[in-house]
Amino acid sequence: MNKDVRIINDRLTAQFKPVSQSRYWLQIVDNHYGGYYNVFFNHQRKWQRLRSIPLHTIKTYELAYLETVVHDLQQLTQLTIEYDGFTNQYWPQSQRLIQRKKHGYE
């Protein structure tokens, strides 16, 4: 487990408090202009608005490095990971498409 994964996991466990009728997921955003990735923890209770908490900024702007971070996060948590800003990009190792279609706000 590298430093970025450890920071994200520590901050995630501090923020995660399971509540019934709630949805939890991670969001990774590609910042093309700054050259880094942002990781957010999102949760939403039924009939309430979305709450998004920034967890960490990954300064290493390489998809191969991000792929290892995502793989380690998937082993640590069972949360869904949503990607924004990754349209038409593929993971270097597995050659799978990262984000299928563009969101309306991109």
What would the mean pLDDT of 53-71 be, rounded to a whole number? 95
| Whether the predicted pLDDT of 48 surpasses 70 | yes
The size of the chain, in residues, is 106
Q: 74 by DSSP, 3-state: which?
A: helix
pLDDT tens digits, residue range 69-90? 999 999 999 999 999 999 889 9
CA 103, CA 6: separation in Å to the nearest integer?
Answer: 29
pLDDT value at position 88?
Answer: 86
Residue 29 is predicted with a pLDDT of 95
Whether this prediction's pTM lies above 0.95 is answered by no
Q: Kindly report the average pLDDT of the chain as a whole number.
A: 91
pLDDT of res. 57: 97
pLDDT of residue 18: 87
Evaluate whether 87 touches 106 at the Cβ level (below 8 Å): yes
Convert the pLDDT of each residue in 92-106 to its tens digit.
Answer: 998 899 987 776 555
Crossing angle of the two packed helices 3-15 and 63-76, in degrees rounded to 10: 40
Q: Give the per-residue pLDDT at 99.
A: 86
